Chain A
Amino acid sequence: MAYPGKGLALLCRSLPKGWEPGRILLAAGFALSFIIPATDFIDQYVQLVLMYIGINIILSVSLNLVNGYMGEFSLGHAGFMAIGAYVASVISVRVFPAWAAVWLFPAAVVAGGAASALVGLLVAFPSFKTRGDYLAIVTLAFGMIVKSAIENIGALGGPRGFLGMDRLTNLPWVFFWTVLSVWFVRNLVYSRFGRGVLSIREDEIASELSGVDTRRVKMLAFVVSSFFAGVAGALFAHLLQFINPRVFDIIKSTDILIMVYLGGIGSLGGSIIGAVIYTVLLEVLRPLGVWRMVLMPLVLVLLMLYRPKGIMGLREFSWFVPRADLFSRGLRHSKKDLADGAP
């Protein structure tokens, strides 16, 4: 089979064992994430946009797990983000001593994610009984309750917002968490557990009859999804250094939905592409002022009308797919795979 990347593929195969192209790219990206802020050879503004892209990738990948792979419809992702943002901020401002906040930043982020995951567990319970439209309403109400609750807690600044965080989010951290979230969700989706998630999307009753513990699967999927949403919120809070409940309203949830459905549901590559395109497009269209906010929903509606499956449409970049899966789906037939004994 001749394709343009054949030369590149040959080059990749001739690399020594262990030097897979993915790992090389990852190492290069990680190194770059240190070099860029140190030398400032890229504009500060572009660095900021890069960090937003990373945060948006975490958000869309985590939402894709519930909305894309599991086929539920969650409308309250910004609520999880808010919990992560507020918990992490409060911990790094009020709990940690000021000199140690830099070193304990990962702990604050994990705490934000964990708090969010705990709440995600609560939201998973209604999903046992209801799904579809009614679950969408439950998650929506959850998002509204989070926002409204924060507005009523005076200690968190109420509607005025919360500030005092140092700018602890930097490019290496964003890169690390983005890669971690994609890696984690990818491994989850292609595990035995992930098959359960997919089977719920295809037919919940049939999957339950074939022995999938749907409750456990749903709980875990919600927990993982909300954990990473909380992480993204924590990173976001320490990047902006100011958060306020209105940031995490229904419009933010819709933004994340747009990224997921723009890229394509049930596809990690789609989520990444969707987040990149959406973030970059919003920045590029900035000169249009308020009209860009008119244009974006129009793009979304046209997308749904003419390509409802999104850009990737359930397809996946082959480097996210395990080799055994590639083989069984007939995407790659080679004698080498047969010789390796792939099932």
Chain B
Amino acid sequence: MSYLLQQVLNALQLGSIYALIALGYTMVYGILTMINFAHGDLFMVGAFLCFLSVLFLKLPFVATLVVSMLGTALLGVTIERFAYKPLRGAPRVSAIITALGVGLFLENFTLALSPYPKHIPSFIPNTIWTLGEISISLLQVVVIALSIVLMVILDLIVRRTLLGMAMRAISWDKTVAPLMGVPVDFVISATFAIGTSLGGVAGVLYGLCYPVIDPYMGIMVGWKAFISAVVGGIGNIRGAMIGGYILGAVEILVVAFLPSTYRDLVVFALLLVLLVFRPYGILGKATVQKV
């Protein structure tokens, strides 16, 4: 029983990171109906920014977070401005290919600058509390609490502020929203900034939990976060949060009871099964194609 509870804690930790990244995918999809395949690599950039600011600037935790968030947000907005914006009217496939290209560029550029995996020095005190038979580390508390706080803030932004209303308006109807005075370009930039900065936070947290980082780390984690977004129903913000935790739980349970090499197999098979029975995810709505 305590073994299972311990695994639940691990699942919450991993799920928080997946949920944070999945939010970036789902926000961009909701507003542009475009899969931003470069998002996983922005997460990687976030981890590398964390590495740089810890090693060279010797910043404390909160400042590191801010640096990573600002850096990835800036990068995300720049990518949107120069690579995605000109393609808004183009066929969807062009946008997907461009996103794949941007992702590859980020990976290989980082690889060219830093060919070897980097180790992030631990800068959170390694405190461990024991509750009965379960041990909780400070790191786990920070990861889970910070993620939940950020998700609550995001949910408030989307549901209670003017910016959030504008986002929902654009995702509801792209043609009418600008006619009602919604500044589309600004809202899309803001969406990218928020989504990628959450990815940056996830990068920092991932770097703290699993401190060896390399330029290709964003591929697998990114795809899995993307699967979380699909599982929850892509375009749906609360769905992405739920999906992230489901995926984290599945992965941890597979590793806990099966050989760890089966992890990816089970996760992707789960995705296929889900798409067959519930193609629009848990919270997603089926779209009807009009003729």
Chain A residues in the interface with B (C-beta under 8 A): 67, 73, 126, 129-130, 132-134, 136-138, 140-142, 144-145, 148-149, 151-152, 159, 205, 250-251, 254, 257-258, 261, 265, 290-291, 293-294, 296-298, 300-301, 304-305, 308
Contacts and interface: CB of A to CB of B under 8 A. Distances in A.
A271 B269 CA distance: 32
Nearest to B266: A148
B149 interface: no
A189 B163 CA distance: 49
A290 B97 CA distance: 21
Interface string B93-111: 1101110111111001101
Interface of B: 33, 35, 83, 86-87, 90-94, 96-98, 100-105, 108-109, 111-112, 115, 219, 223, 226-227, 230, 234, 259, 261-262, 264-265, 268-269, 271-272, 275-276, 279, 289, 291
B193 to A, nearest CB: 21
A69 to B, nearest CB: 13
Nearest to B262: A152
Contacts of A134: 230, 275, 279
B interface, over-half SS: helix
Nearest to A306: B86
Nearest to B79: A301
Contact of B100 (A129, A144, A254): A254
B111 A290 contact: yes
B104 A152 contact: no
Given A145-B269, A290-B111, A290-B115, A301 B83 contact: yes
B261 A145 contact: no
B25 to A, nearest CB: 11
A148 B104 contact: no
B272 A145 contact: yes
B91 A151 contact: no
- Residue among B86, B104, B223 facing the most chain A CB atoms (10 A cut-off): B104
A122 to B, nearest CB: 10
- Residue among B101, B219, B269 facing the most chain A CB atoms (10 A cut-off): B101
A110 B33 CA distance: 40
B75 to A, nearest CB: 14
